[in-house]
Amino acid sequence: MIKEIREIAPFIHFGFNKQETTIYKNEVVTIWQDNIYNDNSYTDSFLLAPSSVLMESTRNYFKLYFTTTGEKNCKVSFTGAGIKFLESNEININVINITFGANNLFFGNETITFND
The residue type at 62: F
pLDDT, tens digit, for every residue of 84-101? 778 899 999 999 998 766
Tell me the domains of the chain and their CATH numbers.
Answer: 2-113 (2.60.40.10)
* Residue-wise pLDDT tens digits, 16-71: 999 999 999 999 999 999 877 666 667 677 888 888 999 998 878 999 999 999 99
Radius of gyration of the chain (CA): 17
